[in-house]
Amino acid sequence: MSQAFDVVVIGGGPGGYIAAIRAAQLGFKVACIDEWKNAAGGPAPGGTCTNIGCIPSKALLQSSEHFDHANHHFADHGISATNVKIDIARMIGRKDTVVKQNNDGILYLFKKNKVSFFHGRGSFVKASEAGYEIQVSGATEELVTGQQIIVATGSNARALPGVPFDEETVLSNDGALRIGAVPKKLVLIGSGVIGLEMGSVWRRLGSDVTILEGLPTFLGAVDEQIAKEAKKAFDKQGLKIELGVKVGEVKTGKKGVSVAYTNAKGEAQSLDADKLIVSIGRVPNTIGLNAEAVGLQLDERGAIVVDAECRTSLKGVWAVGDVVRGPMLAHKAEEEGVAVAERIAGQHGHVNFNTIPWVIYTSPEIAWVGETEQQLKARGAAYKAGTFPFLANGRARALGDTTGMVKFLADAVTDEILGVHIVGPMASELIAEAVVAMEFKASAEDIARICHAHPSLSEATKEAALAVDKRTLNF
């Protein structure tokens, strides 16, 4: 006997759990199925983001930044901290506690919003008059039926061909977040978002870190000027990044791992390390979904094919988040989840892909929204640029962190903001103002005329907007 729901969500990551809550708020009878297990085998909703992604990585970034400050920056403030030690087990334990708080928070939200939670794997069985039948396989077997289905099954780390993750020596983001002791030597493949964040964590804790990147340019999707500034800072920190490499054989043994590669000059090289983190992107996940049973269409990458509004090839089946096209970001997944729930309710849910912010939580942080200068050049746009360095910002000086800048790009004729790019302290928080401004189609002058608190890092945003018109006040 199956339990009937208006909406069944498969996957309880940021795309799925948020879709379930929004659908319940809109008056639907909702089920959310998620298979993630904690160490004790219990439910751990929140997906990659909560369990092995956004949240734990930020917890470790915070711990390692404290350690780095105590070792290298406290002295500037007149604080002596000698013999500073890191207890890795405790740091990882704290991270696990933060994760659990988030898992429990989601279970509480399900209860509060009357979402029925099923712990197990959801697989399509068949389409029937009553909707779609979904088998839930977990500690118990259950059958649920949903008139509308939202698939939010996320993504998995991509492995190097022929080099599977063993999570002991060859690590994905999962293993990278629970290394038990500081590796003397650490190699990462891929200097994208995970490579830089995880590389930063272990470098701050004392590892000798090398990142091998296949592309000849560093952070190609980031505004060139900002990427250059970030690279300078990473070089200074001792994060070794080799661009334009071709990774060859990876050998693992008792002593660790050896990575053969050809450098940008075409020379054969090899690196020995205690651990290897492979961070070369992620692949959409539909394992166990039994998409074939109902004829759900996937593309050649394995992503579920959707239209601009997240409708799949099947009537009444929607898909959101990492399992579909677009940036693999938690907030993008959430926005799609909300929009789909609202569309099911006959409302006009909307996700503006032009104003999705990106943040890399390194030090300095890197954040941006909208187009880069190289994109504007490539499409022949007439634009004006304005930059303001944190070096000239009073709050940044007081914080002792003056790396980087804020950069505005605005339409040469209308002054509409086309992109904002930040490298520097708290870029992750500063970018929100730019997102709001772009959503409201603000001009650079709008931001330049708004009163910003003094002293604050946000004054650098205002000054960069003033710089578009060549009238900074403090530089």
Q: Considering the rule CB under 6 A, would residue 277 count as an interface residue with ligand NAI?
A: no
98 phi and psi angles, rounded to 5 deg: -60, -45
Tell me how far apart the alpha carbons of residues 144 and 137 are, in angstroms, rounded to a whole number.
11
Residue 337 C-beta: closest distance to ligand NAI, Å = 17
Residues 148-187: x/- map of binding to ligand NAI (CB under 6 A)?
Answer: ----------------------------------------
Stretch that binds ligand NAI, among 12-20, 116-124, 277-285, 432-440 (CB under 6 A): 277-285
The answer to whether residue 369 forms part of the interface with ligand NAI (CB under 6 A) is no
The site partner of 223 among ligand FAD, ligand NAI, none (C-beta below 5 to 8 Å per kind) is none
**Partner whose footprint covers residue 13, from ligand NAI, ligand FAD, none (CB < 5 to 8 Å by kind):** ligand FAD
Distance CA 355, CA 347 (A): 21
Smallest distance, ligand FAD to C-beta of residue 167, A: 14
CB of 374 to ligand NAI, least distance (A): 16
Backbone angles phi, psi at 35, to 5 degrees: -100, -5
CB atoms within 10 A of CB 31: 27
Query: 350 an active-site residue?
Result: no
Q: List, in sequence order, every beta strand (DSSP E) within 158-297.
A: 170-171, 185-189, 208-212, 240-242, 246-253, 256-262, 268-273, 275-278, 282-284
Applying the rule CB under 6 A, the residues between 194 and 213 that interact with ligand NAI are 194-195, 197, 212-213
Nearest to 172 by CA among 63, 251, 279: 279
Q: In b/e form, how buried is each residue of 317-356, taking b as 16+ CB within 10 angstroms?
A: bbbbbbbbebebbbbbbbbbbbbbbbbbbeeebebeeeeb
Instruction: Using the minimum distance from each CB to ligand NAI, give the nearer residue, 43 or 175.
Output: 175
Which amino acid is it at 244? G
Q: State how far the Cα of 474 lies from the Cα of 406, in Å rounded to an integer.
A: 14
Order of strands across the sheet with 275-278? 170-171, 275-278, 185-189, 208-212, 240-242
Question: Contact between 230 and ligand NAI (CB under 6 A)?
Answer: no
Distance of CA 253 to the CA centre of its chain: 32
Question: Footprint of ligand FAD on this chain (CB under 6 A)?
Answer: 10-16, 33-36, 47-49, 53-54, 57, 121-122, 152-155, 173, 194, 285, 288-289, 321-323, 328-331, 333
Residue with tokens 């994208």: 192
360 binds ligand NAI (CB under 6 A): yes
Compute the least distance from the CB of residue 218 to ligand NAI, in Å.
9
Catalytic residue, chosen from 73, 348, 421, 454, is 454
Query: Least Å distance between CB 139 and ligand FAD?
Result: 13
- Residue 433 touches which of ligand FAD, ligand NAI, none (CB < 5 to 8 A by kind)? none
328 touches ligand NAI by CB under 6 A: yes
* Shorter beta-carbon distance to ligand NAI: residue 159 or 450: 159
Helix (H) or strand (E) holding 120: strand 116-128
Of the candidates 200, 279, 443, 472, which one interacts with ligand NAI according to CB under 6 A? 279
* Residues designated catalytic: 454
